[in-house]
Chains A and B, each alone.
Chain A
């Protein structure tokens, strides 16, 4: 019986993988549903087990199955791992994803699973924490805080109980690494959490998954059941979000798990001291926890050996948007945006010139091609007014209107704001309104006539608050910049605090879209 591998990853399914798998079953194949290899241009991908290894075909549809089985299909890819997209990747975290049956314990073990946990359990908690510190692993959720130091704090805080919380509320548009890992290699995350539990003395963990990920929820729940005996006495459970982006913020996430309205907490106290249900809590992103088994099994040095500057190890980068080769690309820090967009991504899907990329999700900065020589590194991006965030890269071609993208950033913040702090709650809405006026002024090509406040909300008799007399590009631009300053430095959490990044970067690097002269830097670089 022919054995075939077809991804059950939701992205692959969206591209038709289920129909392909059904057609293979109808042909009498033994179909193993895996996670995704991570290159969506070749999905739905079928890999046929042969003597020389797995032979890939993709993309294929259900009607192509006969040709795939007799080896005649034109989209024969051969050894998928040897494709240019894969050959230079450094898959520390996603080593098994796309290859193994996600829920097969034997597959997991055969492919190096549980080695990290066994190694960790042979060590003292402090030794495990030290190893994570030595690896240089930093929080992959976006903040880049050293994971080992966070663990050390929890280890050093004495309490009758502690918790491990995995943030799997992957809400950034254009990001999907957490989902791919949970759908494609759930035991890797479980192993990472069990190691964390051993390291800090926590007995129970929560995986908080957004409700928009039904397959990830299902796979994780089943994986937790099947691996319970292996990770015992450590226990785990899945909590499902309720659709709020802000619950990806770690303290809002804790409130949500506690059954409260998901609202950001002020820090201090840090969750490492007073976290879930008031107990010391390690809260890490999926990718941070999933990197830990490698650190323990292969050693901190092996992990720290790759990377750039203070950004050590690998980053599963997600390439999306208007790009030819969208997908997941895990590689050591230091790769440039130019490599990622042009070489690996293959330029835009539309074939038009690349005009901008947004790095780090909807709260990340927009960069023009003139800045594509930046290495992928926390500090470099921060110095340029940007952030790596969850390492999502969204590509735009030259039809993009950056003023509209700035508006989108404010709109996103307005829709997703929890409403706790004033800069985010009111500022994002005022930001949308102000940019709308700015765009109107730009499109009118001139400053419109003076405009007065609508009479419906007349001021008090003696109020000296001025009517808003003039809408001009300059005035509105000044208001947007002042607002960004208030939001960036005044907001309680990163949602309001980072919304200015896309807005200001769009204004700074693409001034021509805001009625100004093109930026000299952009001209010079081209």
Chain B
């Protein structure tokens, strides 16, 4: 009985917000609503629902179903309440005999072309058509059922997650409009006209073969069973719903997990979600089936040697073994011989507990997180220039941007829900600059066209950004008033002199970057003078040997043009994983406590020491890559890795493997036997985000609640497992709920001072910093002053990476992501998403392919100075000649075998984005792939009663 759908007000709030309120009378009751509100919405706001089928409040009114007709005094006819705005003094009646007669007439027509199988229909009980037939009192369909009909058409079952049954379609166009207005892919249309009007995916293709990106907006919009989740057809309608936060990318969409008991029926994006506003992508909406996948490990396992098969043991034994091994290693090799890796996929509370386990329990600072390999340069770069390590805006801020500059990011694939919002703004007319070696979808897709695409050579970000600064400074486009008031003037002058040097002009670097100087100049002018200009960047900026310099260069541009500190502007790092912002905030770095405070800072350290009752190490610990180096050297022997697959995701996989082999006890906590587990001695089964409470922090610093919707299949939530280890090591933790961990975080972290589960429950979400001054958080940062006081310009000298192409390795490889897969693919590879991307492929330009005799789909060897792997070629001019591109979602390819050890000069963030490679036709997998496949097969064996250990 608890289950109800969300209230639908029929039409969105007026686009043009004015202060003016309008008073009108609806069914004798006075209503007062903002000017521009529809009659339908005004009525809904006071609790009066007017019958409707084509209207829904996340898209513009359409006026096609003709059920919402009303009577208005002084107006002829029966205006549609969805398309008629309120007016002062208007008198509206929504229920009269005449209206009932008209609505029944319309409903009779609908039902004359609709199957009467309600009782056996998948949408029974959750169907607006059914509801409306009841609401208008339809009792008879006099047309009979022997006339023309659209019933009996075959279903389209091609999509792995939803069915399309055209026989049940009422042609309300909600799906088409959702695809246009909400998602912005424009994959759907109405084909034919009149009675023959039919919903069609692309050019009358099936959904899977069409341009559809399976975001689910159409399914959510469908008022009947025409577009319906297969899980609802199979399981029935849900009976209760719990709001929680998605565990995929850094957008942080909130969903209603719609349940039957402990069984998840579907995930429906939550309209009140501050990051997603009721929208979703194929991952969050549909790809949650991994939680029940047969590969999931539910029992703890140990082995003394990685050459042995795994042995299932009790939790007590596994935890005791872990603690004894860590203690043994520390006793033998010293206190700094072990460490931990916190996960950007787990909750803030779990990340905090992992670093606490390391600092308090292991007695060192050997804790790091996967943010090391993605956004650590953001921390350094923004910290240096602005004073804090985070994006400056909300996602909604993009709706106020006039110029959008996307560099080294691919939002429509990697942050799809935000990508849709950005596209909405672009369709409204915002200008777009894209700097990317690859022609990403934003460069050119339906109704979207970049004003400038700067197809720079991988590795030349700093040169390009500095050349943009050159144009802005030398052409007098600097916002001098802003710089004088808000920034350190001396540093600005030094920087201005530096960038003005003719050697840094667009013309001077054209040959290096392959960006036409005229385009670069025009783009710089547009950024500086086009109104509110906002920069969105991703790993294409950070994962370079000059990643930190590039982040600084971006900050310089924003400060020089006054594009910081208000709506519509700012610096927006697009965070990769659901909680990468959070894991960084929580002190998962070897040199920082929570809130980005250095471990050598006495006051901070003492606060922690007092709270935790132990002395803490003032020396920064080992970074991830140093741990592997140290292991090979012999000084680092034990590692606890929570939900992170370093073998697949870290660069130079063979070096990682070598480091892991050198350790004596590796404890992996994960849902699945991942690649790192091949080298592990203890496997602790993890819990999914559906199975625990906690919080995630998205890319806009928004802390949101993750709510448990089912009990952990493995027996414990991840935070409980960390506590078991801690207590086995004698730390005596007594947390009974993650909210207590958040209370501790708030107590010890000034920027989280006002955050608690109670506050999050009350407010929905909080964007840190949440302090005494801003208890409900701070959506836009650096409004009046920068976090560091005055903004600081820093000179960014371009230094080419040591990774250079040459005769042996003439091509440059850059890596990225694809919409349907997520990171190492541990989750998405175990869902229907493989329908779109079953394997990693190598994108190569037709010229480069032809020179090598490579045809579409051929197996090719991808070889670098580091390693070699084989994968299939996809020939496309999305990449420039000389550049090849692949993803790293599949362990069979393990693209990181070829990436190198080069890292960012400041933060050791690996240079994933530039590897010199050669590509040649291949007969089969590389030797390394074959060896690793065999190794992987052997090292995943689990001993059973019937098959004794070898």
Contacts and interface: CB of A to CB of B under 8 A. Distances in A.
A137 B85 CA distance: 29
A460 B147 contact: no
Interface string B716-743: 0000000000000000000000000000
Nearest to B62: A266
Given A419-B190, A422-B110, A426-B109, A454 B64 contact: no
Contact of A486 (B61, B80, B102): B102
A455 B193 CA distance: 28
Interface in B159-214: 170-171, 173, 189-190, 192-197
Contacts of A423: 66, 105-106, 109
B77 interface: yes
Contacts of B946: none
A492 to B, nearest CB: 6
A419 B144 CA distance: 21
A417 B194 contact: yes
Interface string A426-459: 1111100110000000000000000001100101
Contacts of A424: 194
A171 to B, nearest CB: 14
Contact of B142 (A421, A426, A479): A479
B84 interface: yes
A490 B147 contact: no
Contacts, number: 136
A455 to B, nearest CB: 10
A263 B142 CA distance: 29
Given A434-B143, A490-B102, A490-B105, A428 B116 contact: no
Nearest to A463: B116
Contact of A468 (B83, B108, B110, B144): B144
Nearest to A267: B83
Contact of A483 (B83, B105, B146, B190): B105
B147 A486 contact: no
B228 to A, nearest CB: 18
Contacts of A483: 105
B112 A419 contact: no
Contacts of A475: 142
Contact of A489 (B82, B84, B102, B190): B102
Nearest to A244: B193
A490 to B, nearest CB: 4
Nearest to A462: B119
Contact of A490 (B69, B85, B141, B146): B69
Contacts of A268: 83-85
B105 A485 contact: yes
A430 B143 contact: yes
Contact of A414 (B83, B143, B195): B195
B116 A425 contact: no
Contacts of B109: 422-423, 426-427, 430, 486
Nearest to B105: A486
Interface in B521-562: none
B112 A426 contact: yes
B148 interface: yes
A82 interface: no
Nearest to B146: A454
A108 to B, nearest CB: 40
A453 B145 contact: yes
B146 A419 contact: no
A466 interface: yes
B456 to A, nearest CB: 33
Given A490-B78, A492-B64, A422 B106 contact: yes
B63 A266 contact: yes
A420 interface: yes
B35 interface: no
Nearest to A430: B143
Nearest to B197: A419
A522 B64 CA distance: 39
Contacts of A465: 111, 116, 140-141
Interface in B395-432: none
A263 B191 CA distance: 12
A189 to B, nearest CB: 29
B116 A426 contact: no
B449 to A, nearest CB: 15
B193 to A, nearest CB: 5
Contact of A418 (B77, B112, B194): B194
A261 interface: yes
Nearest to A496: B66
A492 B120 CA distance: 33
Contacts of B195: 414, 417, 419, 425-426, 428-429
A422 B150 CA distance: 14
A460 B143 contact: no
Interface in B86-128: 101-102, 105-106, 108-113, 115-120
Given A268-B83, A428-B194, A453 B146 contact: yes
Contacts of A430: 109, 112, 143, 147
Given A268-B85, A425-B197, A459-B116, A468 B143 contact: yes
B402 to A, nearest CB: 15
Nearest to B138: A465
B29 interface: no
Contacts of B196: 419
B106 A486 contact: yes
Interface string A260-271: 010100111000
A303 B474 CA distance: 64
B511 interface: no
A416 interface: yes
A77 B190 CA distance: 55
Interface in A240-276: 244, 246, 261, 263, 266-268
Interface string B132-144: 0000000011111
B149 interface: yes
A491 B64 CA distance: 8
A475 B112 CA distance: 17
A482 interface: yes
B151 interface: yes
A420 B64 contact: yes
A244 B196 CA distance: 14
A261 B194 CA distance: 13
A416 B194 contact: yes
B342 interface: no
A331 to B, nearest CB: 30
Interface string A319-342: 000000000000000000000000
B65 interface: yes
A443 to B, nearest CB: 19
A415 interface: yes
A83 interface: no
Interface in B42-91: 61-66, 69, 77-78, 80, 82-85
B132 to A, nearest CB: 11
A419 B492 CA distance: 62
A490 B192 CA distance: 22
Contacts of B77: 489
Interface in B195-249: 195-197
B192 A419 contact: yes
Interface of A: 244, 246, 261, 263, 266-268, 414-430, 433-434, 453-454, 457, 459-463, 465-468, 475, 479, 482-483, 485-486, 489-492
Interface of B: 61-66, 69, 77-78, 80, 82-85, 101-102, 105-106, 108-113, 115-120, 140-149, 151-152, 170-171, 173, 189-190, 192-197
16 contacts: A244-B193, A266-B61, A266-B64, A266-B82, A415-B194, A418-B194, A428-B194, A430-B143, A453-B145, A454-B145, A457-B115, A486-B102, A489-B69, A489-B102, A490-B69, A492-B63
5 closest cross-chain pairs (CB), A and B: A266-B63, A486-B105, A419-B197, A417-B194, A468-B144
Given A244-B193, A463-B118, A479-B143, 11 more contacts: A266-B61, A266-B63, A418-B194, A419-B195, A426-B113, A429-B147, A430-B143, A453-B145, A482-B105, A485-B102, A490-B106
